[in-house]
Chains A and B, each alone.
Chain A
Amino acid sequence: MSFQRPNFRHPELPVNELGYRKKDYEGSLSTLCAGCGHDSIGGALIQACFELNIEPHKLAKLSGIGCSSKTPAYFLGNSHGFNSVHGRMPSVATGANLANRDLMYLGVSGDDDTASIGMGQFVHLIRRNLNITYIVMNNGCYGLTKGQDSATADKGSKSKAGSVNEFQNIDLPGLAIELGAGFVARSFSGDKTQLIPLIKAAMAHPGFALIDVISPCVTFNNNVGSTKSYDYVREHIDATSTIDFTPPAEEITAQYADGSSLQLAMHDGSLLHLRKIQTGWDPTKKDSAVRALHEAYAKAEILTGLIYIDENQEDLHALLNTTETPLNKLQEKELVPNSSVLNDLNASFR
């Protein structure tokens, strides 16, 4: 069942540059467990889209199956949504994006949805560099089927039932960097100050952008021994940077005189400011980013923030040399050869 929110609007709520209120970016009431990390991520998405002045109908949100994949119903109610099949959102998103390159695409997935059943599609989505913001709500377990270990669960981590996971975990950011993703970040559902600018930066990134968000499952994976519980994550978090994202329309006022800060210009003209906490690490260098991930992992720390960025990649449309006009706008006159062409073809088959 989903419950719709009332349409009531408080007259004094702040509006963004497009005249939308934050409420315009909300969806129906969540049916997830109270305290589920996924809802916090939804909240961050609402805030990010509000601040980014996104026209809600110009964004399409796609997901697979799982508690995480249900969340698109709970935010951006004025955007079209597509809850596809388990693990296969990347292909649906690819088709959608090919059909209309003018919309923004937000992919929402779970750790099983992406790292197990959907691993193949995830990997190939990165290969093709589809222009999409891809959020994994990573709780290290299967929520909707009640708590089985997922492929992102750390080796040695304990499930609620007490059993210890014996298998290697799949680290999605590490994998994404390896595959050549142009924007790779990790965050924590409980850290909105970090997550919101990361989402904004990911949305401004012109190709594939991954944010792996550790998102504790309060019901099945918030126990002692789990490495994806609130307490564990809070204690072991190691931020690469504090992040400040400035969209292009705003005047750029952030100061970055401080020698330890890094400023990255995004393709749309906006700026990303990173203030480093981790030392000896450069997010524009693949090897440095991968090393930082490994070092943090060795210390049982969770590295968060923008881990790697490469702004100079061509997205799928550029690679396929598709027309600027969205393919779904092309009409008969652009698409159908005239009948004399058919006559010539017929003649060539004789």
Chain B
Amino acid sequence: MQTHPVINDFVVRFANVNGTGSASANNMFAKAIFRMGIPVTPKNIFPSNIQGLPTWYEVRVSDKGYLGRREGVDIMICVNPQSMKADIAGLKSGSYFVYDNTKPLHKEFIREDINYIGIPLTEITLREYTDPRQRMLFKNIIYVGAMSALINLDMDILKQIISEQFQGKEKLIAPNHHALELGSQYVKEHYSFPLKFKLERRDLLKDKILFEGNAACALGAVFGGATVAAWYPITPSTSVVDAFSEYAEKFRVDPESGKNNYAIVQAEDELSAIGMVIGAMWNGARAFTATSGPGVSLMQEFLGLAYFAEVPAVLIDVQRTGPSTGMPTRTQQSDILCAAYASHGDTKHVLVIPSTPSECFEFTRQAFDLADQLQTPIIVMSDLDLGMNDHISDPLAINEDIKFKRGKVLTAEELENMDRFGRYLDSDKDGICYRTIPGTHPTRGMYFTRGSSRDEYAIYTEDGAAYKRNMDRLNKKWETIKSYVPQPEFYQNEQTSDLGVIFYGTSVYSALEAKDDLASQGIHMDAMRIRSFPFNEEVSDFISAHRKIFVIEQNRDAQMRSLLINEMDINPDKLIRVLNYDGLPITAHHIESIISKHLDVQPNASKSNLESTSISAS
């Protein structure tokens, strides 16, 4: 057996069947590691199906704090015979395979180079429980209990989590605790060897939280003052509105009247959802919708209207694998171009791109200020990985006193004291005009909002010069926007380099790990994380300052690279594609291998012998 223990640095994968209640047990497993103060990254890899197909839950533990997905499984907990063959084939040499040994394993599943740990899960549940549903649910708890004994996962913490989870349903606490013990006891009684992979308590996480991006966006909407949410269900954005609804019920019901200080409408489709958002924001409320690629496609016409008529709107795009229906439950960053240029004609939209749950919160909250200030749609570009998986993140934070930035909205008094109101007059020479909210003043400030060309006083015209003046002003506004949106983040090196690396969104996790790994081999790179579109000076300066730049993305066509080239007249040869588009989160190993190959160096030996673990789900 193995002699060198590996502490807090391994990948555990659970192979389950969806619809069997495994999700909460698996979450508890990750949360317990988090509470032990150890950096942990859980990922759900699930099928587009409700019940019966294989689903995996992968947990990476990393003392070094690397939170990207890592290839190669060290411990496999197999609860799904359907996927067993592939699950075993995907294991690294020397790894562990934990399985239900109620029946002996068929010999096609036997590999000489891995360790088998049998736990009679079915037998235990048959013995302990009579109800078939209980048998199914407690099986999950039992294997978590077994894991506790196998890798030193803190039993007290597990029990504590269960007690918290079932607050209000106290009757369920003891049976769950018992199930944990059943698993742990079985392991203790039947196995004496220590596993090579072990957990050890740390204090690495301080005030960090473990949270998912979609709920963080929902809280951003609550704190950003959104009162209208209109949406149409689509994976993986649905939980944004589900969470908004839950938080709104908690924080937005007027205590005196019992009435709601919010309205949520499940629209008939995405066209309607964005239409409602536009109508509400035109009328002075803060509104948002959440969707994914197919929904963005349907919203295009309305987004063009909002851009041209200058109506604020907030759209949260939780990207998934396209094109078309693609792989609805897998992740990608492939709506970049379609969001940036949504709609016909010369249109462009403001994108803000969070990387962490705390940025999901902050950028969504800010999106409402930006929409009002800039009078244009703001699209929050999240993705499935960020939205639906838990991530270790800074805590959500606000300034003590949030003051909404409502932008250039004229009051009745201001209208009273001005000459003629011109809705599309560039009075401040920043391209942003003054607007009025319907109902403000009996005789002043009225105008017609329309998607057709108009003059500075909002009067319909087909005069080419007036149209051009307006389009040029919109471009000027675009310049102004550059100073409003989140600025790029730079990751400093001790050593300067003529190599650069650019990434955005969830690619950050593996990109930073790859950067460190490459640096340990003597390849140093400066790094920049893009956090918004339009790009500002800092982005173009970074690109000019480097000879060669790797652009890391999770799509096939290098969409951000195209956007950079298109918007900033960069020599395309300078920007090298580092792409992953199999629907799983990009890994450091993958990034390193592409960069190493390009630079013609041998990739890090310790990582290159990892077996491929691509998972196929039909």
A80 touching B446, Cβ below 8 Å: yes
A327 touching B439, Cβ below 8 Å: no
A323 touching B257, Cβ below 8 Å: yes
Q: Which residue of A lies closest to B279 (CB)?
A: A95
A322 to B279, CA, bound (A): 17
A126 to B473, CA, bound (A): 40
A99 to B372, CA, bound (A): 14
Q: List 9 A-B contacts (CB under 8 A).
A: A78-B446, A81-B446, A84-B451, A85-B275, A95-B230, A121-B271, A332-B402, A335-B227, A346-B395
- Write the nearest CB–CB distance from A207 to chain B, whole angstroms: 16
Chain A residues near B278 (CB-CB < 8 A) = 84, 92, 95
Binds A, one of B193-201, B218-226, B486-494, B545-553: B218-226
Q: Which residue of A lies closest to B365 (CB)?
A: A336
Cβ contact of A327, chosen from B219, B273, B285, cutoff 8 A: B285
A83 touching B448, Cβ below 8 Å: yes
Q: Which residue of B lies closest to A95 (CB)?
A: B279
Interface string of B439-451 (1 = CB under 8 A from A): 1111100111111
Chain B residues near A331 (CB-CB < 8 A) = 404
Beyond A327-B280, A346-B395, 15 additional pairs, beta carbon < 8 A: A57-B438, A77-B446, A80-B448, A82-B448, A88-B272, A88-B302, A95-B287, A96-B279, A99-B282, A317-B263, A320-B264, A323-B254, A326-B285, A330-B261, A349-B211
Chain B residues near A60 (CB-CB < 8 A) = 283, 438-439
A95 to B289, CA, bound (A): 11
With contacts A345-B396, A346-B396 taken as known, whether A79 is within 8 angstroms of B446 at the C-beta atoms is yes
Q: Which residue of B lies closest to A323 (CB)?
A: B259
Q: With an 8 A cutoff between CB atoms, is B612 at the interface?
A: no
Chain A residues near B35 (CB-CB < 8 A) = 350
Chain A residues near B436 (CB-CB < 8 A) = 80
- Write the nearest CB–CB distance from B460 to chain A, whole angstroms: 5
Cβ contact of B439, chosen from A98, A103, A323, A342, cutoff 8 A: A103
| Interface-central residue, A1, A73, A80, A337, by most chain B CB under 10 Å | A80
A324 to B263, CA, bound (A): 12
User: Which residues of B are at the interface with A, using a C-beta cutoff of 8 A?
Assistant: 34-35, 207-211, 219, 222-223, 225, 227-228, 230, 251-252, 254, 257-265, 267-269, 271-285, 287, 301-302, 305, 395-398, 400-404, 436-443, 446-452, 459-463
Cβ contact of A82, chosen from B271, B279, B437, B459, cutoff 8 A: B279
A100 touching B287, Cβ below 8 Å: no
A336 to B264, CA, bound (A): 17
A322 touching B439, Cβ below 8 Å: no
A124 to B273, CA, bound (A): 12
**Those 3 A-B pairs whose CB atoms lie nearest each other, nearest first:** A95-B279, A91-B275, A99-B285
Chain B residues near A80 (CB-CB < 8 A) = 436, 438-439, 446-449
Q: With an 8 A cutoff between CB atoms, is A314 at the interface?
A: no
Chain A residues near B460 (CB-CB < 8 A) = 1-2, 73
Chain B residues near A346 (CB-CB < 8 A) = 207, 209, 395-396
- Write the nearest CB–CB distance from A143 to chain B, whole angstroms: 16
Q: With an 8 A cutoff between CB atoms, is A173 at the interface?
A: no
B279 touching A94, Cβ below 8 Å: yes
Chain A residues near B207 (CB-CB < 8 A) = 346
Q: With an 8 A cutoff between CB atoms, is A339 at the interface?
A: yes
Interface string of A52-78 (1 = CB under 8 A from B): 000111101010000000001100011
User: Which residues of A are at the interface with B, using a C-beta cutoff of 8 A?
Assistant: 1-2, 4, 28, 55-58, 60, 62, 72-73, 77-85, 88, 90-100, 102-103, 120-121, 123-124, 128, 317, 320-324, 326-328, 330-332, 334-337, 339, 341-342, 345-346, 349-350
Chain B residues near A77 (CB-CB < 8 A) = 446
- Write the nearest CB–CB distance from A90 to chain B, whole angstroms: 8
A320 touching B263, Cβ below 8 Å: yes
- Write the nearest CB–CB distance from A314 to chain B, whole angstroms: 14
Q: Which residue of A lies closest to B285 (CB)?
A: A99
A100 touching B285, Cβ below 8 Å: yes
Chain B residues near A99 (CB-CB < 8 A) = 227-228, 279-285, 287
B279 touching A92, Cβ below 8 Å: yes
A334 touching B279, Cβ below 8 Å: no
A1 to B276, CA, bound (A): 29
- Write the nearest CB–CB distance from A269 to chain B, whole angstroms: 23
With contacts A80-B449, A81-B448, A335-B252 taken as known, whether A55 is within 8 angstroms of B442 at the C-beta atoms is yes
Q: Which residue of B lies closest to A72 (CB)?
A: B448
Q: Which residue of B lies closest to A321 (CB)?
A: B260
A346 to B272, CA, bound (A): 34
B263 touching A327, Cβ below 8 Å: yes
| Interface-central residue, B263, B264, B401, B463, by most chain A CB under 10 Å | B263
Cβ contact of A78, chosen from B219, B442, B451, cutoff 8 A: B442
- Write the nearest CB–CB distance from B251 to chain A, whole angstroms: 5
Chain A residues near B281 (CB-CB < 8 A) = 95, 99
A342 touching B271, Cβ below 8 Å: no
A334 to B275, CA, bound (A): 25
B442 touching A57, Cβ below 8 Å: yes
A326 to B398, CA, bound (A): 26
Cβ contact of A84, chosen from B275, B280, B400, cutoff 8 A: B275
With contacts A85-B301, A349-B211 taken as known, whether A120 is within 8 angstroms of B447 at the C-beta atoms is no
Q: Which residue of A lies closest to B463 (CB)?
A: A1
B261 touching A335, Cβ below 8 Å: yes
With contacts A84-B305, A323-B259 taken as known, whether A120 is within 8 angstroms of B272 at the C-beta atoms is yes
With contacts A80-B447, A346-B395 taken as known, whether A85 is within 8 angstroms of B260 at the C-beta atoms is no
Chain B residues near A328 (CB-CB < 8 A) = 227, 280, 283-285, 437
Cβ contact of A341, chosen from B208, B251, B285, cutoff 8 A: B251
A349 touching B262, Cβ below 8 Å: no
Chain B residues near A62 (CB-CB < 8 A) = 279
Q: Which residue of A lies closest to B393 (CB)?
A: A349
A156 to B210, CA, bound (A): 66
Q: Which residue of A lies closest to B257 (CB)?
A: A323
A210 to B617, CA, bound (A): 50
Q: Which residue of A lies closest to B219 (CB)?
A: A345
A78 to B210, CA, bound (A): 53
A56 to B445, CA, bound (A): 12
Chain A residues near B259 (CB-CB < 8 A) = 321-324
A335 to B220, CA, bound (A): 12
Chain A residues near B285 (CB-CB < 8 A) = 95, 98-100, 326-328
B276 touching A95, Cβ below 8 Å: yes
A270 to B404, CA, bound (A): 41
With contacts A100-B284, A332-B404 taken as known, whether A91 is within 8 angstroms of B219 at the C-beta atoms is no
Chain A residues near B463 (CB-CB < 8 A) = 1
Cβ contact of B272, chosen from A4, A79, A121, cutoff 8 A: A121
Cβ contact of A98, chosen from B228, B268, B272, B452, cutoff 8 A: B228
A327 to B279, CA, bound (A): 13
